[in-house]
Structure 1
């Protein structure tokens, strides 16, 4: 899968977006505790919304100003294609459930999508200070260093992962997740089941993980990692091996030497 790179995107825009996302990360870091906040469901949900609101206050307007004419995808849990044009798909607290439980796997992401193709992304991990970036056609980077997807060719040696996209998915999605984990436990080496998707996809782009799949099309959890994976040399499709786009019902990213084997294992479950 490849993207048209004839966009007027440059390092100046990337630097601006990176600065905005890092500032947003500072806001989320200030809200972090190493203990769980909330015990009842309504308390947890309140904490999650409070994180989102605080971070969006320092992200939304600066991002829209950085790209005049761009639009904002409002619902971070939505899926499906967007109208043509440029859209910001942002997750102000990717891994929000981890953040409010005092766990370290969370980030801030901002991705510019043009005509349903992700063309620029920034993923910042405030706890480590690491920043993952990509522009379509110009490679993926971690703190400026080039990223490369895994060179593995044996699925039996692969570290792979999946997870649910959001709470409350239907029973069919949960069944597919369980069956796919079993299938990959049989055919792979080790299977991780965790959230959020972006935190697994940055490992894939960096060559630390070898495949990731998800039976869902939640945009905000996939677009940033999809662009990073592609620009790092990975292969991104739907689970049946067809080209992936925002309207795809599911998602697979893999090291190029493992992709066909992963499709063989997962496609019967899609």
Structure 2
């Protein structure tokens, strides 16, 4: 009587895992792109939330089974607005429609993101911009890339010659955080060349990683809108800290990503 030897498939390397994550994220982006183009009208907060949820569900129906298949034992962060540290192990931190409100308003600044976090450290990330077709990727220790092309942060060393950016942390933010954000914009208007303010955070962070802008800051915030860009900026040679220049963690109440040459000056401005 013969027996069949059962062997398990070899574990994917992180590089292979990144490549397959790209496929899943692009597929979700394509599905959202089919829903994009007309302004979605709503008269109440409840109607808006239903429209946002419909976009999220469209992307998650693709992302969740594919990413779960890639990493069956990884946890799944249910709420993209959650912050703070994650429990031990691996977790998928996914924003199925980063900048979802822009999608509803037929604005092009939105993305699909997926980040694998291992022991509270981002290991790999994919940020796909369906409207432009761009895909940003980063793998710890292997650099950041735009469609396969290496990214490097700006060499600028003068905040006065820099384009900087910030983003609203979340709707219905605490009033103290809102006032702090407003004061920081005023300070940066005095010290930087140009200040950009818009959502979502991730699209500002890919610009820092690509060397198009020199710095991005935000107060409060969530894992899903900061972790993807944080890894991209780090792997592109940038610096990540809280707004006072201390090491950043998902529990921090401020976030700063900057080219090394302007990081200290950006900290000084935000600390005034």
Q: TM-score normalised to the size of structure 1?
A: 0.94
Q: Please identify, of 27-36 and 211-220, the stretch whose mean Cα deviation from structure 2 is larger.
A: 27-36
Contact 2:170 2:221 in 1 (8 A): no
Report what 1:162 is aligned to: 166
**Equivalent position to 1:202, from 178, 181, 206:** 206
Question: For 1:61 and 1:241, how far apart are their aligned partners in 2?
Answer: 39
CA-CA distance at 1:59 after TM superposition: 0.5
1:118 aligns with 2:122: yes
Structure 1's unaligned 5+ residue stretches are 1-7
Of the three residues 83, 102, 109, the one matched with 2:113 is: 109
Q: Which residue of 2 aligns with 1:88?
A: 92
Runs of 4+ in 1 over 4 A off after TM superposition: none
Match of 1:240 in 2: 244
SS state at 1:87 partner: strand
Residue 186 of structure 1: SS of its match in structure 2? helix
Distance between the aligned counterparts of 1:37 and 1:136, measured in 2?
Answer: 41
Q: Secondary structure at the match of 2:137?
A: strand
Q: State the aligned residue count.
A: 261
* Cα deviation code 1:28-82 (max 9, x no counterpart): 1111124343243322221101101111111012112112311101111010000
Q: Which residue matches 1:127?
A: 131
The answer as to whether partners of 2:55 and 2:97 remain within 8 angstroms in 1 is yes
Residue by residue, what CA displacement relative to the aligned partner does 1:120-144 show, whole Å, maximum 9, x if unpaired? 0000011111000000010000000
Unmatched runs of 5 consecutive residues or more in structure 2: 1-11
Q: SS of the residue aligned with 1:251?
A: strand
Contact 2:28/2:62 (<8 A) preserved: yes
TM norm structure 2: 0.93
Show the counterpart of 1:4.
none
Superposed CA deviations along residues 89-122 of structure 1, whole A, max 9, x for unmatched, are 0000000010001100000000001111111000
- Larger Cα-atom Rg: 2
Deviation of the 1:17 alpha carbon: 0.2
SS at match of 1:222: helix
